[in-house]
Structure 1
Amino acid sequence: MSGAQMRAREDIPSAAGTHTVQVWDPVVRVFHWTVVAGCLLNLFILEDGDLAHRIIGYLVAAMLVIRLVWGFIGTRYARFTEFVPSRHRLVGYLAALAKGREPRMLGHNPAGAVMMLALMALLAAVSLTGWMMGLDAFWGEEWLEETHEFLANAILVLALLHAAAAVIESVRHRENLVLSMITGRKRSN
């Protein structure tokens, strides 16, 4: 580990006097907020088929590819090996969550990891169907347009659940998870 990496992971005091550590690196944070902005723009502001809608779709797809690669070569908490839960670990976490005794985790908790993987799969599928709609072979295919719209709506539903869970977990663990996705830092203990 380089000196810069060591310093980035150091336990340092925040303005509030609590100690924080770097958890979310810039690639993870840029991916997260690009997807948030892109989905909001494409779902609520831009028209399907508009050039801007397509450009944003391609940008989100490119960020997804970068994030997938980063999941194998990135920093500790970005790596899939760090957060993809086994079935046993997920069931144990959900049982503890149901009892209100889920552990606080620096990286993704098992439920959050499953949500992230589901959202990434939906982003890949909506990107693929959006690209396919521009091909001559699928031009005007109603089933493809309906599938694309269904996937976009599924992303919206899961994203709302994800945001609600982040707010609830922020309250339960007395930690601003939205802020940590902006700064990259979380409380160390």
Structure 2
Amino acid sequence: MQPTTTTPTAALAPGRATPARPPQARRRVVDAPTRMFHWLFALSFLGAYLTAEGERWRALHVTLGYTLAGLLVFRVLYGLLGPRHARLGPLLRKLAGAAAWLRSAAGAFRGGTVQGVPWRQGQNLLMATAVVVLLLLAVPLVISGYGTYNDWGDASGGVLGGDWLEELHEFVANAMLAAVLLHVGLIAALSVLRRKNQALPMLTGHVDGAGPDLVQRNHAWLAALLLLAVVAFFAWSWQASPRGLVPATGWAQSAPDGRHDGDDDD
């Protein structure tokens, strides 16, 4: 009597359980603090931009501005003292390779083909450029905002006179908004061309595919501390503001100086 053997066909016969598929391989490419900074920074800038007009939102606008400044300090320190994958040095080295990439792309186009263009390197170069530009623009943005809030450029003095600092603040804010829109547009275009969501790694920290993790440690505790610090600062600012950070409905009542709370300063 011969032993019974199980064939692949029998294993997959009707009524039999099919073997479970192995989980799809993923690699970690972005750590938690970097992702937390990215979204807090984006939300702070968007909120500050939307609340820039009018006195009713002034407290919230200033709080978001201070938050943006604190996040900028965190990113610089993390880029100097943090793990290698989060360092600012690699970003600068990518920018240093821009000239070589342009020469390579120009040579490929002159040859009548786009196959030789290093598109992935170009994508990394554009992403690095966007990050550096946004960080650099944030510096004059927060400085001019702080100066405007503390009347550094009032009309009563200064060689430049007038509201030059406020105009500078508005100009830098618009330039930063343009950089953000270009950054988002680039990600959307790459997502369509590659048929893959290019923003997903900044949400999950992972990309699909086999291979070693580019980021060995997630440092989730540091991301949690960063979020906690921002929430605590907002809570403190809310308590310190006489009317809170969000104006209540019906604040069109006259202030003690005869103005309306919603009126802009002239």
Secondary structure of 1:109's counterpart equals helix
User: 1:20 and 2:31 equivalent?
Assistant: no
- Counterpart selection for 2:120 from 104, 107, 111: 104
Q: How far apart are 1:16 and its partner, in Å? A: 10
Number of paired residues? 173
How big is the alpha-carbon RMSD for the aligned residues of Structure 1 and Structure 2?
A: 2.8
Alpha-carbon distance, 1:80 to partner: 1.5
Taking the TM superposition and a 5 Å limit, the aligned residue runs for 1:1-189 are 18-45=24-51, 47=53, 50-85=58-93, 89-94=97-102, 95-96=104-105, 99=114, 101-104=117-120, 109-139=124-154, 141-188=162-209
Q: Which of 148-157 and 35-44 deviates more?
A: 35-44
Distance 1:142 1:110, change over 3 A: same
Check whether the contact 1:58–1:127 (CA below 8 A) recurs between aligned residues. Answer: yes
Between 1 and 2, higher relative CO (CA 8 Å, sep ≥ 6) is seen in: 2
- Percent of residue pairs identical: 29
Which of the two has greater helix per residue? 1
Task: Find the aligned partners of 2:146 and 2:22 in 1 and give their Cα distance.
Answer: 47
Q: Distance in 2 between matches of 1:144 and 1:158?
A: 21
Moved more, 26-35 or 132-141: 132-141
Q: Larger C-alpha radius of gyration, 1 or 2? A: 2
What is the SS of the residue equivalent to 1:112? Answer: helix
Q: Which runs of 5+ in 2 are unaligned?
A: 1-20, 156-161, 211-266
Structure 1 stretches of 5 or more lacking a match? Answer: 1-14
Q: By how many angstroms is 1:81 displaced?
A: 2.1
Give, in whole Å, the separation in 2 of the partners of 1:77 and 1:187.
19
Q: CA deviation at 1:182?
A: 0.8
Q: Are the structure 2 counterparts of residues 90 and 40 from structure 1 closer, same or farther at C-alpha, using a change threshold of 3 Å?
A: same
Return the offset for 1:102.
3.2
TM-score, reference length from structure 2: 0.57
